[in-house]
Structure 1
Amino acid sequence: MRAEMAVPADPAAVEGPAAGNRRRRAPRRWQLSGTRVLQIALALIALQLVVRAVVLSRGYFYWDDLILTGRSGSLSLLSSEFLFYDHDGHFMPAAFLAAGLATRLAPYDWLVPALMLLVLQALASLALLRLLRLILGRRPVILIPLVFYLFSPLTLPAFAWWAAGLNALPLQIGLAWVTGDAIRLCRTGSARHAISGFLVFAVSLQFFEKAVLVPLVAFVAVALIYRVDGRVRPIRTALSRGALFWAPALLLAAVWSLIYRLTVTTDFAPFDGASAIEMVRHATSNGLLPTLFGGPWTWDRWPPSPPWADPPEGLIAASWVLAAALVVASIVWKRRVAWVWIAVGAYVFVSVTAMVVTRSGADTTFELGQTLRYLTDSAVIIAIALALVLRAPVRAGRTAPGRGPTVASAVAAMSAFVAGSLVSTATFADSWQDNTTRDYLANARSALAAHPDVPLLEQPVSIWVLLPVAHPHNLVSRVLGPLPDRPEFAPATPELRMLDDDGRAVDAEVTWVRAIDPGPAQGCGHRIGSDLVELPLDGPLARWEWTVRLNYLSSADGEIVVSLEQGEPVVVPVRNGPNSVFVRLTGGGDLLELRAMGPDLALCVGSGPVGVVVPVP
């Protein structure tokens, strides 16, 4: 059974004796021992990690990272509210748990997420190396698909973004490891490979819902190995030999899919044919294809959006030509590899389709596909495809001198690819470094630590950190809540300050959008007791988040309840004597409603503004 899927030690074992004679007359090929090949592969992985570490050193927390950190700081790590949260259509309890542990360990210390990403990347690269060895043995040709995966810019944007990396990297690990276990199961029949593959599949599902495709990828890979090896019934053979894994994996996928549908609400965009075609074009022509050849070389960005691939037109055209030439040449050169490329196309099609139906809409730009993170796992699929093509037997008559690739041509192609990829990596790091969140959090940390005893009025963070579409996750209580040295975030405060766009605390005031009318009581204004009192405004307020300045005289320390006519009440502490308090209210209407909490508390409330908070000029 092992021999049926083992890589031939001698190409003549696949091609026949005559082909072996021709191969001996061919130009000199790779002359490396299996140990040396493995050493080179590990050195390449180490180099990849060094390059990626440099990228991370120039990155920082961004967008969803703040949401993950903010939720980690306010919820119990093992609560269903935290782990099973519907995060923009994603079901990722293990990713939330990892983010929660990092936040508990060191809130907003970038070193912890960076190390986490590097460890995950190392595991993904090692898992792929293991898979390539299972497909190709320790032959030097394993370096070709390995180099593609290690340095391809296709995996870069999802890696550098912590929240995206917690989805993408476990998926890549799952794809590579489970496929390797499926191959070993079909070779040996050992149940331990089925158990290992099942466990890794189960874990990868907890990081990213797209991992539901992992068993399917493993099955197709096994079937394609049988096909390129010349098996008559590759699908039936793959089904029977791997049944010990396929059956429980299918059951787990079904159960998990049910849980996913009960937990997550996915909004599908109305179908627009023209927009869908345009998004597909941006994702493939401007995004995926140039990365296959070391592109895109340049990136564009509209802060606070992430960078997206912005390849030159010449590279886009050349990528189409080179991709088509590679596919055609491989089919002409090798036997039974057409279905390999069909499988790759199907996987990319599924990925792009999922992006279009879940992310397209009136507020979505076509450049979304060029951010590459929706296609990043395709790098593993393409690496597997390259390995299968290299494994396949050469067609008769294609092994004469000059008919196949030589060592020199392979090394030259890989060197050109790595050079272009490093250029793309450097330009991406330059663009990714432009992140206002780093300075904002540093300034906010210092500002909050300097005033720990005065409550800070709830407010959104800078739009350059999180846009209002992220509400309520863009509120300072959510984003900055995990910081240890800070004041209380409250709906009311006696001293009005705000964090500016740089994260610095500045004195603030309330604009006079509306005003509280003067009260009827001479020398007092509005008398407030335990009964509800309505304070008229000088005009109506639309339903929104407003701040009111209450100028009052209180008979004692205590609490009052304040609300707009159409809104939720807020409990506000008051102090004995004449004072002012600033209250954040959500609602609208023509009235402000107040009452004291307790029969012994009485207040006089004068006129004051109702509006929005702005810095003092």
Structure 2
Amino acid sequence: MALITAARERLAPVSPDGRTPGPAVLAAALVLIALQLTVRSLLAFRGEFYWDDLILVGRSGMHPLLSFELLGYDHDGHLMPGGFLVAGVVTALAPLQWWPAAATLVAGQALASLAVLRVLWLLLGPRPALLGPLLFYLFTPLTLPSFAWWAAGLNSLPLQAALAWVAGDAIRLVRTGRIRYALSGTAVTVVALLFFEKSVLVPAVAFATVALMYRLDGRRRPVRTAAVRGAPLWLGSALSLAGWAAAYPSLVESRFGAPTADVVRGLTHHGVSFGVLPTLLGGPWRWDRWNPGPPWADPPAGLVVAAWAAVLAVLVWSLRRNRRTGWVWAATALYVAASTAAMISTRFGPDTTYELAQTLRYHTDTAVVVAIAAALILRAPSRGDAPPAQPARRLVAAGCAVTFAASSLWSTATFARTWADNPTGAYLAAAKSALTARPDMPILDHPVSVWVLLPVTHPHNLLSRVFSPLPGRAEIGAVTTELQVLDDGGRLVPAGLVPVRHVLPGPVPDCGHLLTASTTTVLPADTALVGGEWTVQLNYRASADGEIEVGFPAAPRVRVPVTAGLGTVYARVPGAGTGLQARSASAGLDVCLAGGPIGVVVPR
């Protein structure tokens, strides 16, 4: 009992006038959160859709909100039904409008920030020292890249909130024994798993927080005590993880691999030295970018050296000044190592550059872990009698806080400038205007600008996918009578067909290739075509209005409307082969086809 009383006295200090500083600390913490949300709102609402965001929007426009096709989709190794649900709701309310997506980012950040304040309060009580770890979490640039990018934020913000909230629930559970904290912590873990598979680490962080808290408080057998007193939460979490583990491998293709030692060393060094550590001092100050890729941290060499020196200095200081803090450092390092290992094993490849590790989004949640670790170290008992805080020490602490905040805000400003170099917003605005200007004129489906989505995202980079939720637009499909394409600026411009092969003239005099409903006619090409998405120009004479079918052998056929008399129509046909196959798809319709080019459509 004496030990518990002493801990309570240490965590609830009294000011010289006999009052506790709780209300003032809480007010200061809420002001800091308000400032953070103001800064993040400026960043979010000045942003725009980017890369994967358009995949989420496109799939939301193609599939019903609660369909398995939308919620159960394997998105580049992520099983994120929660993220797709949010994207689906946002898309249904305001198709291809950025402001509601930005609002979800700010709302998610508010939840995460309040959850971090809660767990810090539970660990430190109403101590002014609480403001240090909170300030770090709120303003560290470590969380910037994943916050600004909507698709990444839908993964990382629920994870950040869950890490802090479930750790707080675990503390409340072991202190009060109330089962509602086990139910709450389990429910939050389940929700986090719906957004990001890395949420499997949430219960582990919560357990480590409780066990380390007990160890710092001098409890005997801290691990055993944490396991027993928090058993309802650990059991609920284990059952939730078991259910998730049963579903995940059957829905998501494994991306895990075994990289070489050189790749591991390179990505680890770049991720930790150039990525995580400079953000501990408010860095990296500078960002670089190869459009259309995301920004990455580009810290000066001096900042990297200073970050390593600062971490080592704080490590030595904490081990010399506070007892039993070694395990806190070890647990934090283990979390960073786990995040690094997950990034390397799932994202490495022959074309992977080390700058990938400097994008920071693979370590975003580390900010929560570092904040908790800092609170635990501040909670740790001093070696011997701790001297009262001197004005000079308070002044140094305030100076460090102001310096960190200024450094972080500068990094935020430079990131915002780099992030603004995103052509997607202007492209979407021009494209939406162009696609709705003539809704009666069908447009041949084709990829969006490579500055918006690269071909590696095919078929998600097609106009029909990206603009699927846009109301009042022209039909985007496989057939048109007027070749038009969106240029890199999103403007609809006339296009031409660049021939790669030609359909040879047909054998029927004054007709060419005769198409009837009873027979499939072969349209031989001058040379075989390899697999791809090809456009064929069909010059025809039809006996009546109707439809024909055209396609490569063993590939889906395209239904092409024709009108009575002479006409020209363009059809987009996927596949490969030595020629096309065609037939009339309407009873009583006969069509004569002449030879024509097969190729690719480009702006004139």
TM bucket (normalised to shorter chain) is over 0.9
Corresponding residue number in structure 2 for 1:399: 387
8 Å CA contact 1:308–1:370 kept in 2: the answer is yes
Per-residue deviation, residues 517-546 of structure 1 (Å, max 9, x unmatched): 122233222222121111221222111111
Count the aligned residue pairs.
603
Corresponding residue number in structure 2 for 1:116: 104
Deviation at 1:50, TM superposition (A): 0.5
In structure 1, what residue type is equivalent to 2:483? L
In structure 1, what residue type is equivalent to 2:137? Y
Corresponding residue number in structure 2 for 1:433: 420
1:158 aligns with 2:142: no
1:330 aligns with 2:318: yes
Counterpart-to-counterpart distance in 2, 1:324 and 1:536: 73
Q: What SS does the corresponding residue of 1:542 show, helix, strand or coil?
A: strand
1:461 aligns with 2:448: yes
Q: How does 1:303-452 map to 2 (within 5 A)?
A: 303-396=291-384, 399=387, 406-452=393-439
Per-residue deviation, residues 73-131 of structure 1 (Å, max 9, x unmatched): 01011111111111111111111100000000001111101111111101111111111
Residue of 230, 244, 255 corresponding to 1:242: 230
In structure 2, what residue type is equivalent to 1:242? G
Q: What SS does the corresponding residue of 2:570 show, helix, strand or coil?
A: strand
Deviation at 1:328, TM superposition (A): 1.2
Deviation at 1:68, TM superposition (A): 0.3
Per-residue deviation, residues 410-463 of structure 1 (Å, max 9, x unmatched): 111111100000000000000001111101111110111111011111111111
1:473 aligns with 2:453: no
Corresponding residue number in structure 2 for 1:51: 39
Comparing 455-464 and 97-106, the one that deviates more? 455-464
Residue of 493, 497, 500 corresponding to 2:480: 493
Indicate how the Cα distance of structure 1 residues 387 and 447 shifts in structure 2: closer, same or farther if over 3 A, else same.
Answer: same
Corresponding residue number in structure 2 for 1:17: none
1:220 aligns with 2:220: no
Give the TM-score of the pair, scaled to structure 2.
0.97
Deviation at 1:30, TM superposition (A): 13
Unaligned runs of 5+ in 1: 14-19
8 Å CA contact 1:301–1:308 kept in 2: the answer is yes
CA RMSD, 1 decimal = 2.1
Per-residue deviation, residues 10-65 of structure 1 (Å, max 9, x unmatched): 4799xxxxxx9xxx9xxx99997210110010000000000001111321100110
Deviation at 1:3, TM superposition (A): 8.1
In structure 2, what residue type is equivalent to 1:216? A
Counterpart-to-counterpart distance in 2, 1:111 and 1:149: 25
Corresponding residue number in structure 1 for 2:262: 274
Runs of 4+ in 1 over 4 A off after TM superposition: 1-7, 28-32
Deviation at 1:240, TM superposition (A): 1.1
1:484 aligns with 2:471: yes
Comparing 29-38 and 126-135, the one that deviates more? 29-38
Comparing 29-38 and 446-455, the one that deviates more? 29-38
8 Å CA contact 1:127–1:176 kept in 2: the answer is yes
Q: How does 1:166-177 map to 2 (within 5 A)?
A: 166-177=154-165
8 Å CA contact 1:225–1:388 kept in 2: the answer is yes
1:506 aligns with 2:506: no
8 Å CA contact 2:275–2:358 kept in 1: the answer is yes
Give the TM-score of the pair, scaled to structure 1.
0.95
Deviation at 1:271, TM superposition (A): 2.1
1:9 aligns with 2:9: yes
Counterpart-to-counterpart distance in 2, 1:565 and 1:184: 66
Deviation at 1:567, TM superposition (A): 2.9
Corresponding residue number in structure 1 for 2:197: 209
In structure 2, what residue type is equivalent to 1:455? P
Counterpart-to-counterpart distance in 1, 2:169 and 2:492: 55
In structure 2, what residue type is equivalent to 1:360? F
Q: What SS does the corresponding residue of 1:76 show, helix, strand or coil?
A: coil
8 Å CA contact 2:12–2:125 kept in 1: the answer is no
In structure 2, what residue type is equivalent to 1:8? R
Deviation at 1:405, TM superposition (A): 7.7
Residue of 94, 103, 114 corresponding to 1:106: 94
Counterpart-to-counterpart distance in 2, 1:337 and 1:345: 13
Counterpart-to-counterpart distance in 1, 2:46 and 2:537: 43
Indicate how the Cα distance of structure 1 residues 526 and 166 shifts in structure 2: closer, same or farther if over 3 A, else same.
Answer: same
Deviation at 1:395, TM superposition (A): 0.8
8 Å CA contact 2:537–2:569 kept in 1: the answer is yes
Deviation at 1:599, TM superposition (A): 3.8
Q: What SS does the corresponding residue of 1:584 show, helix, strand or coil?
A: strand
Deviation at 1:401, TM superposition (A): 8.1
Indicate how the Cα distance of structure 1 residues 197 and 510 shifts in structure 2: closer, same or farther if over 3 A, else same.
Answer: same
Q: What SS does the corresponding residue of 1:478 show, helix, strand or coil?
A: helix
Comparing 252-261 and 60-69, the one that deviates more? 252-261
Deviation at 1:397, TM superposition (A): 5.8
Counterpart-to-counterpart distance in 2, 1:421 and 1:447: 41
Counterpart-to-counterpart distance in 2, 1:65 and 1:71: 10
Counterpart-to-counterpart distance in 1, 2:546 and 2:2: 81
Deviation at 1:138, TM superposition (A): 0.6
8 Å CA contact 1:58–1:432 kept in 2: the answer is no
1:181 aligns with 2:169: yes
Counterpart-to-counterpart distance in 2, 1:4 and 1:570: 76
Counterpart-to-counterpart distance in 1, 2:95 and 2:44: 17
In structure 2, what residue type is equivalent to 1:427? T
Counterpart-to-counterpart distance in 2, 1:32 and 1:158: 38
Comparing 312-321 and 564-573, the one that deviates more? 564-573
Corresponding residue number in structure 2 for 1:146: 134
Comparing 561-570 and 445-454, the one that deviates more? 561-570
Q: What SS does the corresponding residue of 1:406 show, helix, strand or coil?
A: helix
Deviation at 1:5, TM superposition (A): 9.4
Q: How does 1:515-530 map to 2 (within 5 A)?
A: 515-530=502-517
Residue of 229, 250, 275 corresponding to 1:262: 250
8 Å CA contact 1:5–1:229 kept in 2: the answer is no
Identity across the alignment (%): 53
In structure 2, what residue type is equivalent to 1:338? G
Q: What SS does the corresponding residue of 2:499 show, helix, strand or coil?
A: coil
Q: What SS does the corresponding residue of 2:86 show, helix, strand or coil?
A: helix
Per-residue deviation, residues 315-366 of structure 1 (Å, max 9, x unmatched): 1111111111111111111111010000000001000000000000112211
Indicate how the Cα distance of structure 1 residues 184 and 520 shifts in structure 2: closer, same or farther if over 3 A, else same.
Answer: same
Indicate how the Cα distance of structure 1 residues 253 and 581 shifts in structure 2: closer, same or farther if over 3 A, else same.
Answer: same
Corresponding residue number in structure 1 for 2:283: 295
Counterpart-to-counterpart distance in 2, 1:458 and 1:154: 39
Unaligned runs of 5+ in 2: none
Q: What SS does the corresponding residue of 2:598 show, helix, strand or coil?
A: strand
Counterpart-to-counterpart distance in 1, 2:20 and 2:133: 17
In structure 1, what residue type is equivalent to 2:73? Y
Deviation at 1:199, TM superposition (A): 1.2
Counterpart-to-counterpart distance in 2, 1:511 and 1:91: 40
